[in-house]
Structure formats: structure tokens, C-alpha cells
Chain A
Amino acid sequence: DAGITQSPRYKITETGRQVTLMCHQTWSHSYMFWYRQDLGHGLRLIYYSAAADITDKGEVPDGYVVSRSKTENFPLTLESATRSQTSVYFCASSNLDRIYGYTFGSGTRLTVV
């Protein structure tokens, strides 16, 4: 869906570097989420946000930082990338009632070398 976009689609970075993944939605959804998807582990929640300036840890938050100064943006930062953070990262959003469920972005494939 064009309403939620992630950038970049692909990223290669070196161990120890900081990298930021961007997520932007145009629906004014209150909830936004970051998941990582690794083979054999399904979708694991990293962080989520219920509204601007409100964020909470998910299942696997270590090594990640999020912020949400505006409702439409929810960037995910890897402060010092490690090889174990090589993964596909999906951003998702939903309204309060989840009328349309969680809508996912196209994903960012991150490789840490």
C-alpha cells in the first residue's frame, strides 16, 4: 500500500556504524511498529508506538532506538550495527481500532558486514 513507505529498500553497512531506517505513513494511524524477520523466527516486535512521543519496547529491543516526534514518522536506529542485526525490517501501522489490521511497509533488507 502506498500509504506506508520504508526507506531504503536495501542497505549494506559495516559493523559498528550507525544506521537509520525510515518509515512514513500517510493515514494518521496512531499505532506504528517495527518488526524484524529472520528465517525461522517469524516476525519479532522490536518497538512500537501508540502515538507521537510515546514508544514502548517489544520483544527484541536491545541495540535499537526509536523516536516518534511526528505521527507520520517512526524511524528505527541501530546505534552500533552488529552482524546479528542482519535481517529484513518491516514497519507497520494501524489505527486504534485496527479496522484494517496492521498494514506493513515493503520492508528494508539490512546486511551488516
Chain B
Amino acid sequence: GENVEQHPSTLSVQEGDSAVIKCTYSDSASNYFPWYKQELGKRPQLIIDIRSNVGEKKDQRIAVTLNKTAKHFSLHITETQPEDSAVYFCAASSATRFGAGTRLTVKP
């Protein structure tokens, strides 16, 4: 079955810096890759997604890149702000498996 690995497990950056979270997947049939943000005590919420026919997608300060050959995709957050602090999860579609999560802390 699908296996999704996410790195790093924790990430601390200064406000204004960029943050990058990477995920790898195993099933080449996966064609949909969402990223979720989960604040403490809240439900995961979709922040951006990408489909396998696209290499990059941007939405204001966040972007996702996909390398199908290498089977990895990454979340990029630029100009980080304290409110970006949360746990971020990636997922791959073939078995709706989620990565283990990255706890991002943005220091003011």
C-alpha cells in the first residue's frame, strides 16, 4: 500500500523566513496531493493541493511543488508569520494516507 513520509518532524524559523516541508510517497498511482494545517485543538484544514498533471501551484505565500519522477512533493511558506505556527500534514491520494506531520514554530 501507499507509504507517505514527511520531514522534518519539527521546524522552527524566525518570522519573515521561509519554511519548507517535504514529503515522499511510494505509489506511482497517486495523483492528488493535499496539504493540511492543523492548529492546536482544531480540525485539519486544507491549505493547498496539487494534482499530478501540474508541477507547481502557488497561493499567496504558500506554494507546493511536485516531482513525479522522484515521488516527492514539498510545501513552501514564504515570509512566515507567527500565525503560521501549526502542525502541517501532507497526504497522497491512492490510499488517503497522511504523513506524520511537521510542527512548525514561527518565532516573532
A35 to B98, CA, bound (A): 10
Q: Which residues of B1-25 have CB atoms within 8 Å of chain A's CB atoms?
A: 1, 6
Closest-by-CB residue of A relative to B1 is A59
Partner among B1, B34, B100, B101 whose Cβ is within 8 Å of the Cβ of A102: B34
A103, B45: Cα distance in complex, Å: 7
> Is the beta-carbon distance between B96 and A102 smaller than 8 angstroms?
yes
Interface band, chain B: 20 to 34
Complex partner residue of B43 from A33, A40, A48, A90, CB under 8 angstroms:
A90
Question: Per-position contact with A for B73-108: 1 when CB-CB < 8 Å, else 0?
Answer: 000000000000000010101011111110000000
- B43 x A42 contact (CB < 8 A): no
Residue B55 at the chain A interface, CB threshold 8 Å: no
Is the CB–CB distance between A41 and B46 below 8 Å? no
Q: Tell whether, in the assembled complex, residue B100 and residue A101 are in contact, meaning their CB atoms are under 8 Å apart.
A: no
Contact with B along A27-52 (1 / 0, CB 8 A): 00000010100001111110010000
Shortest distance from the beta carbon of A92 to any chain B beta carbon, whole Å: 8
B44 touches A104 (CB 8 A): yes
Cα–Cα, bound, A102→B33 (Å) = 11
A105 near B43: Cβ-Cβ < 8 Å: yes
Instruction: Contact check, B34 vs A101: say whether CB atoms are below 8 A apart.
Output: yes
Given A100-B46, A104-B43: A45 in contact with B34 (beta carbons within 8 A): no
Q: A98-B32, A105-B43 are in contact. Are A45 and B96 (CB under 8 A)?
A: yes
A90 vs B89: C-alpha distance in the bound complex, in angstroms? 14
For residue A50, give the distance in angstroms from its CB to the closest CB of chain B.
11
Are the CB atoms of B93 and A42 closer together than 8 Å? no
Chain A 2-39 interface 0/1 with B at a Cβ cutoff of 8 Å (1 = within)? 00000000000000000000000000000001010000
